[in-house]
Amino acid sequence: MIGVVIPAHNEAANIAACIESVLRAGRHPELDGYVVRAFVVVDSCTDATAALARACGAATIRVTARNVGIARAEGARVALACGAQWLAFTDADCVVADDWLACQLRCNTEVVCGVIQIDDWTGHHEAVREDFVTTYTDADGHRHIHGANLGLTAAAYLRVGGFPPVAWNEDVALIRALIDDGAEIAWSAAARVVTSARVDSRAEKGFGATLRAVSERISRQYASSAWAGALASPTSGEPG
């Protein structure tokens, strides 16, 4: 069985699209014979996330941690208890590719770190998009670590003790532990996930926080350039 774990905090606006994409990926022809189940970890939700997730066919797990490390770990624990041999992780504001899971298994390795893409940059300055496109390595051999696009064997996950109970960088900590353990890791650009460019991130130092920092840096640069230009421009009129 393949268990897909999705942590969620007040994601009623996004959870249905995410689950539908996961279940669609689970019906890929290459996965014939595999059972694919989605586990949504409903963390301190006050909206309709849980009801919507169940209506879409996902199992729901309630926690009150407001901690993505704890949420991912609890989802993994339940998925493993249900017999998962492969664990895949994404986020509630993501849509996975139709061949997402097939690509992970096709890598034929213990761990797969995939890439993300953003299709909608609404609300961001064009320079923010350009910064992402020019600095992000979207190719095999990248070294990006995204909890939104991660897969691994149950054995590898258990061998390093799973996700630590931290509020951010839980994905980085897991992969570093796997690297230290000597796990076989595929840094694949074939396993793809479309994620949100929102800056009101649920995790304090998640991807949204990174985009927010980039946006603020670019805004400061533009403001500084505009101020410098104003100082350099000659004034009109005669001196008084």
Domain positions in the chain are: 2-231
- Residue 68 to residue 216: CA distance in whole angstroms: 25
The per-residue pLDDT string of the chain (240 residues; one tens digit each, 9 = 90 and over) reads 999 999 999 999 999 999 999 999 999 999 998 999 999 999 999 999 999 999 999 999 999 999 999 999 999 999 999 999 999 999 999 999 999 999 999 999 999 999 999 988 888 878 888 988 899 999 999 999 999 999 999 999 999 999 999 999 999 999 999 999 999 999 999 999 999 888 676 666 667 666 666 666 766 766 665 545 544 555 434 333
Identify which of 103, 64, 59 has the alpha carbon closest to the alpha carbon of residue 82: 59
| The token pair that represents 210 in the structure block | 């990174």
Dihedral sign from CA coordinates of 117, 201, 37, 111 = positive
| DSSP helix/strand/coil, 84 | coil
Q: What pLDDT score does 240 carry? A: 35
| 2-231: CATH number | 3.90.550.10
Whose tokens are 């034929």? That residue is 108
| DSSP helix/strand/coil, 96 | strand
| DSSP helix/strand/coil, 200 | coil
- Residue 88 to residue 152: CA distance in whole angstroms: 7
In the 8-state DSSP scheme, what is residue 233?
S
